[in-house]
Amino acid sequence: MNAKTKVLVVDDEEVVRRSYVRTLTGESCAVEVAWNGEEALLAMEQQPFDVVLLDQRMPEMDGMEVLKTIKEKWPESEVIMITGYPAIESAKQAVTLGAYDYLAKPVGPDEVINAANAAMLHKTWALRGVQQDRCEVAR
């Protein structure tokens, strides 16, 4: 990742948000936070983010709802679903809705960095593939 990588951290627990921000800021990312789904979508409206770390269980609007909206409106954004209540069913649902990854809390700093790096690399290669397809169509 580099200073251009924009990350949105969405979690209703302040201690979790602060931990992820501290970890990712150390990796030279531009990090913003949202404490719920509505705030996250408002932030995305202002500027789409490259990577979104998204808590699954939040008040009012759960992470699956937010994930679905993000992937519909901003499909280039990579979403990493993070939950304190991991289950195979919710992991399947998250991946089906377009999540890049699904992590179980507690998530340590190395795991946050590795997941965000992998998501950004995936996004870079996916966009490169789209650009290459456009070039081939133009020929």
- Residue 134 has a pLDDT of 44
Is 79:55 a contact under the CB 8 Å cutoff? no
Per-residue pLDDT of the chain (139 residues; tens, 9 = 90+): 555 799 999 999 999 999 999 999 888 789 999 999 999 999 999 999 999 999 999 998 999 999 999 999 999 999 999 999 999 999 999 999 999 999 999 999 999 999 999 999 998 887 666 544 444 444 4
Separation CA 28–CA 21 (nearest Å): 11
Given a contact cutoff of 8 angstroms between Cβ atoms, the answer to whether 102 and 83 are in contact is yes
d(CA 70, CA 139): 33
Tokens read off for 32: 């913003």
pLDDT at 135: 40
CATH T-level assignment (fold) for domain 6-138: Rossmann fold (3.40.50)
Asked whether the beta carbons of 13 and 57 are under 8 A apart, the reply is: no
pLDDT, position 28: 79
